């Protein structure tokens, strides 16, 4: 696990954008795993800017999103289909047939989840998986206690997670209780995991995920076992790390050829 600490979220997002751009340039048919929420918004704006201003071509890229609310139609304003269309897809040239998001209205959810896993395998597996970190340490919607080997499936949200996502809905009662999410095993099958965490509210979860024991109680801690995981933080999110000084030293003293690898 490489921990990269930057002064603010904008600088952290710039590093993430360069990593994704490099992945796409070196492998135009890359398979990207995508995330939603407030954390990747600056990153998505930067990728759109690279596409417009630098000709970064996403036309051969395939994407798989981490999750979707069960029971929400794709056109619901709080759905992740809607989020991705508004914040990324309409700004890039990824063909619709190459974009994959779990279907919140799937009639047979177990079969749909198996099909989603199959589609990832048939695409060649995920080259780079973008991740956020929940305030309780969850990845995707794999709540604390999730199996570290889990695959795409339906999950019941904790009340804490429902409260954290309340701002996307008109009322607390409208927040779904269930989601379809990639499993932790699915996530860690990715060739590279890129986790972004910004703000003081994430500091405790970051400390547990990066420096605590690997445990199902903190799903994000599983990334400690990943061969190529990068964790990009701002100073606030890194504020509880005991070895923050060491992480800064390592990043600042990397050989030039390792930058953005």
Q: Where are the domains of the chain?
A: 2-254
What pLDDT is stored for residue 27 in this prediction? 98
Average pLDDT of the chain, as a whole number: 96
The per-residue pLDDT for range 124-156, each reduced to its tens digit, is 999 999 999 999 999 999 999 999 999 999 999
Average pLDDT over residues 74-86: 96
Chain centre to alpha carbon of residue 161:
16
Q: Which residues pair with 100 in a beta bridge?
A: 64
One of 51, 82, 112, 138 is an active-site residue; which one? Answer: 138
| pLDDT > 70: percent of the chain | 99
pLDDT tier at 257 (50, 70, 90 boundaries)? confident
d(CA 145, CA 228): 24
DSSP 45-110: HHHHHHHHHH----TT-EEEESEEETT--TTSTTSHHHHHHHHTGGGS---GGGEE---TT-SSHH
Residue 259 has pLDDT above 80, yes or no: no
Catalytic choice (127, 136, 164, 234): 136
Which value, to the nearest 10 degrees, does the dihedral of the CA atoms of residues 145, 148, 150, 155 take?
20
Distance CA(227)–CA(254), nearest Å, equals 18
67 is an active site residue: yes
260 has catalytic annotation: no
- CATH top-level class for 2-254? alpha beta
Task: Give the neighbor-by-neighbor strand order of the sheet with 153-156.
Answer: 67-69, 178-181, 153-156
Rounded-to-integer distance, Cα 260 and Cα 71, Å? 39
Query: Which candidate in 103, 143, 189, 234 is catalytic?
Result: 143
Are the beta carbons of 121 and 186 closer than 8 angstroms? no
| Contact (CB, 8 A) for 197 and 13 | no
Question: So what's the pLDDT on residue 256?
Answer: 82
| Residues paired with 194 in a beta bridge | 130, 230
Contact 194, 131 (CB under 8 A): yes
**Residue 129 β-bridge partners:** 33, 193
Helix ranges (H only) for the chain are: 9-26, 41-54, 80-87, 109-122, 159-164, 184-188, 203-211, 244-252
Q: Of the listed 51, 67, 226, 234, which one is catalytic?
A: 67
Report yes or no: 206 and 238 within 8 Å, Cβ to Cβ: yes
Give the distance, in angstroms, between the CA of residue 83 and the centroid of all CA atoms in the same chain.
14
> Whole-angstrom Cα distance, residue 225 to residue 214?
8
Helix, coil or strand: residue 142: strand
State the first-to-last Cα distance of the chain, in angstroms, to the nearest integer: 13
Q: Is 136 a catalytic residue?
A: yes
Q: Is 57 a catalytic residue?
A: no
């Amino acid at each position: 696990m490489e921990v990269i600490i930057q002064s603010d979220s904008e600088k952290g997002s710039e590093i993430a954008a360069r990593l994704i751009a490099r992945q796409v340039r070196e492998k135009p048919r890359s398979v990207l795993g995508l995330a939603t929420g407030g954390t990747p918004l600056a990153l998505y704006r930067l990728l759109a800017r690279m596409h417009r201003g630098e000709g970064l071509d996403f036309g051969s890229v395939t994407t798989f999103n981490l999750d979707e609310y069960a029971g929400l139609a794709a056109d619901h304003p709080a759905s992740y289909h809607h989020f991705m269309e508004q914040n990324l897809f309409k700004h890039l040239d990824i063909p619709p047939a190459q974009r994959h998001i779990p279907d919140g209205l799937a009639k047979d959810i177990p079969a749909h989840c198996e099909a989603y896993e199959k589609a990832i395998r048939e695409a060649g597996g995920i080259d780079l998986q973008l991740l956020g970190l929940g305030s309780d340490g969850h990845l995707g919607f794999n709540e604390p206690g999730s199996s570290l080997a889990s695959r795409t499936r339906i999950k019941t949200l904790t009340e804490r997670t429902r409260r954290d996502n309340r701002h996307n809905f008109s009322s607390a009662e409208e927040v779904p209780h269930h989601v379809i999410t990639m499993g932790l095993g699915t996530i860690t099958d990715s060739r590279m995991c890129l986790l972004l965490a910004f703000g003081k509210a994430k500091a405790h979860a970051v400390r547990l995920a990066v420096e605590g024991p690997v445990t199902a109680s903190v799903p994000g801690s599983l990334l400690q076992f990943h061969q190529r995981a990068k964790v990009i933080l701002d100073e606030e999110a890194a504020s509880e790390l005991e070895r923050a000084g060491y992480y800064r030293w390592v990043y600042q003293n990397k050989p030039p050829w390792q930058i953005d690898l």
